[in-house]
Structure 1
Amino acid sequence: MGSGIQVAVATVGLISVLIFMWLAVPTEQTLDLKFPNVVILRGLGSLDLEPISFDNNSLPLIPSAEAAQFNGFYQFEPLFYHKSFDRFVPWEQRDKAMVFSCTMFCSAYNTTANEVKLALIHASLDGKRYSWYLTEFRDEDANSPVIYARTKLRKSPTYRAPWVTVTPGGEIKPKDLEEVHIITAWDALRFDTPLKWAVTAILVGGIVFWYKSMKEKDD
């Protein structure tokens, strides 16, 4: 029975390590370590979204209940391609953008086009400030890519930035999306809250106690 528990614990530990590596370790094509392999978008679904086209034209409103389908796991895709991509990020500035494609538990809004891709784009369009954009690419659509939301501009690359709605400009001001944020496996390594310190202490203490108990049984 004791050996069976050890095998089970070891198996769970191995699977956990593999999952963490998939979430946290950048792919070999990544030339820098700005972000992990997977980011998780959360919090959409509390407010309606008013998307815009890549050239700032207003598009029909998306009810909050339907906006929740954009939440999910997005994986870094260094070879991402869509024929409307360069409308948003010109080809000569492609190196200034990183694309994370919808991978799990998320889905695009348009389901009728032949090829639809939902993605998070991190880009510095002016070469000075950075932002994330929640975008959808659609075939044969003059408005593609469609932009659903973005983060506020930041001077340095980061996924810890507040989200806002998009607007066509003018007197229309963006609304704060206070519940929307990106989390990653790297957040588990940030000991920035008492809860994380407590959980870490409990895990370490539990492992030490388990090891000592197993050693006493062997003796």
Structure 2
Amino acid sequence: NKPSRRTVFPERVFRSKEALYDAVLADVGQRHERRQPVLIGTRTIRVSEALSELLKAAGIPHRVLNAKEDKEENEIVSSAGQPGNVLIATNMAGRGTHISLSPQSEAAGGLHVIAVERNESARIDRQLIGRSARQGQPGSAQMFVSADDHIIERYDPALAEEIRKAPANEWGEVSGEFSVQITRLQQKVERTRYDQRLRIAERDKWLHQTRQSLA
């Protein structure tokens, strides 16, 4: 195994989804200018389509890959490492397909992954970030989150409100210190989900045993 050449930049936290989208657009625009390939990973098709509209309006050519379009999936994903290419994909789309980099893409910094919104499972976030800098290639990744994200809005509305009221810069970006609270929330959600799965498994086992005893 070759040593990883991945740079993971600190997570960026925003007051709103709109502020997050604007920051993603600015970041992609700068990287596109220097011909660095970018993969934007989203939790939902709706977010993919919203970002696509913004990129279109900004005149940045890109492809959108949602899990529903698996016919051309391999071809779209494998070409994502070409110079200046921008691919928006839901987290489940294109997994397992190798993204190869051209020498020009490597020189521009390799594939940069922008992860939009934390998932309920940190494993999915790690898998997305792990799509950059594969097999000893250069690459980078960064998470972008906002108070409007599903995991924050649904499981900790008080934290969402705290982020919205926090001091912010002109981009609507707040202190990265919120990342610690968001990580704790994600861990709590994962534990809850795990406990739910255990309870369902135990109930299914009990039902099976009950049926067997009545047979």
Say which structure is richer in helix: 2
Say which structure is richer in strand: 1
Bigger RCO (CA 8 Å, 6+ sep): 2
Q: Report the TM-score, using the length of structure 2 for normalisation.
A: 0.30
Q: Report the TM-score, using the length of structure 1 for normalisation.
A: 0.29
Larger Rg: 1
